[in-house]
Amino acid sequence: MYEQHAFHCYTTHFGDKPYHVCKDIAKAKFDVPDHDLLVGGFPCQDYSIMKKNSAGIEGSKGVLWWQIDDILREKRPKYVLLENVDRIIRSPAHQCGRDFSIILRCLYEKGYAVEWRVINAADYGYAQRRRRTFILAYHNQTKRFCDLAEGVCIRGLKHMHKYVMEDSIFAKAFPVADHSRSFTESWIDEIEYPDIPDVSSHQKTYLYNAGVMMNGRIYSVDVTPRYEKPIPLKDILEQAPVDEHYFLHENDMPQWIYAKGAKNEQRKRRDGSTYWFSEGSVQFPEPLDKPSRTMLTSESQIGRTSHVVVDKTTGRLRTLTPIECERLNGFPDNWTNTGMPERMRYFCMGNALVVPLISQIGKALVTTDFGRQ
């Protein structure tokens, strides 16, 4: 049986409790107890820019959204917080905004209002340029829903704009400095689309990095973060000497140079046909005075996306250590050092969120909503 290293790490830190389970969500969803807040995410590969011809919500992993939808249909928690890659708001490429519109329609049918923001961790002072879409929904039994519904009923789009810019949970947690003149308004209710299959077949809309949906009405606007100075990569590097196996070997340098370099070359498909492939170069080694690029699950392996830095002690080139990857996501040192293989430590961090971002959302939610429901 495949060992679930991430689950073992979780129970190591938070206890092996009866309600901590590691099961197929298709089966575990039937045992979810009543709750006020559902927090989760569904696999991002079918929405990610790193995967060509991403299938979106119809992909083998994207369809896991429907398992979350089943839980919401049964339990109707007051709040729902979800996360995915930034591309989800415009997926799939051939029908821009369809997948996110389906998610909004599902939430609308269950009595939720929704706000969303695409947030880059580095914009708010953290060490990694990691852009993610955060989705927060609140049920019509909450005061936040009622206040928003009243405001939209009286002042319409003006209230929706003010809400996105100033009064939403995301605006409280991650203030915005300005917005462009670009915005979109659309509808996702039964009058516009009789059912979800109709949304899937016909909905196409360009959504911006911030927005709100109330009673089937969608307002989306392009906002500019109130920037905070990010932590540079050099500040998360270990001070003590690191093990020799992190350093680049001379025999591997041609592979590293090729992976990081610009390309304009003819390649062959599986069926034997050819095509031209081109991409720009990646800085090699990484600039230490800037935040890191987005960390992926393949971190430390020879490839374009892995980070290579100049070691502080020796001046030699090396990959990041697992501890440094934990720091990029805001975890304590050695958080994943719970017995899993080192490769899995990198994998877990490539899949993780920047923890302080989630803390800020939680604090804003507790401060403004919990206790006044």
Interior CA angle at 72 toward 168 and 361, to 5°? Answer: 30
Q: What is the pLDDT of residue 49?
A: 39
Average pLDDT over residues 318-345: 97
Active site residue 9: no
pLDDT-derived band at 371 (thresholds 50, 70, 90) equals low
298, burial (CB in 10 Å: exposed 0-12, middle 13-18, buried 19+): middle
What is the set of domains in the chain, with CATH numbers? 24-229 (3.40.50), 233-353 (3.90.120.10)
Upper half-sphere CA count for residue 275 (Cβ side, 13 Å): 5
When pLDDT is cut at 50, 70 and 90, the band that residue 52 belongs to is very low
The percentage of the chain sitting over the pLDDT mark of 90, rounded to a whole number, equals 75
Q: Is 34 exposed, middle or buried (0-12, 13-18, 19+ CB in 10 A)?
A: exposed
> What pLDDT sits at residue 372?
57
pTM of the model: 0.91
Q: What digits encode the pLDDT tens for the residues 20-51? A: 889 888 888 889 999 999 999 887 444 333 44
Mean pLDDT of 130-139: 96
The per-residue pLDDT for 204 is: 83
Quick: pLDDT tens for 92-125. Answer: 888 888 889 999 999 999 999 999 999 999 999 9
What sign for the dihedral angle of Cα 119, 121, 122, 123? positive
| Mean pLDDT value across the chain | 91
Highest-confidence segment of 65-69, 162-166, 201-205: 162-166
Give the pLDDT mean for 335-351. Answer: 96
Counting Cα atoms < 13 Å in the Cβ hemisphere of 44 gives: 23
> What is the rounded CA–CA span in Å between residue 7 and residue 11?
6
Q: How far apart are CA 159 and CA 332, in angstroms?
A: 41
**Omega before residue 230 within 30° of 0, cis:** no
The residue annotated as part of the active site, out of 44, 106, 325, 348, is 44
DSSP 189: S
Report the pLDDT averaged over residues 202-214. Answer: 91
> Which contiguous run of DSSP H or E holds residue 131?
strand 131-139
E strand residue ranges, 176-281? 176-187, 210-214, 217-225, 263-268, 274-279
Q: What is the C-alpha to C-alpha distance for residues 162 and 141, in angstroms, rounded to an integer? A: 22
Report pLDDT for 366.
92
**Rounded-to-integer distance, Cα 102 and Cα 104, Å:** 5
Residue 179's pLDDT is 78
Digit-coded pLDDT (tens) for 152-190: 999 999 999 999 999 999 999 999 998 777 889 999 999
Check residue 78 and give its pLDDT: 96
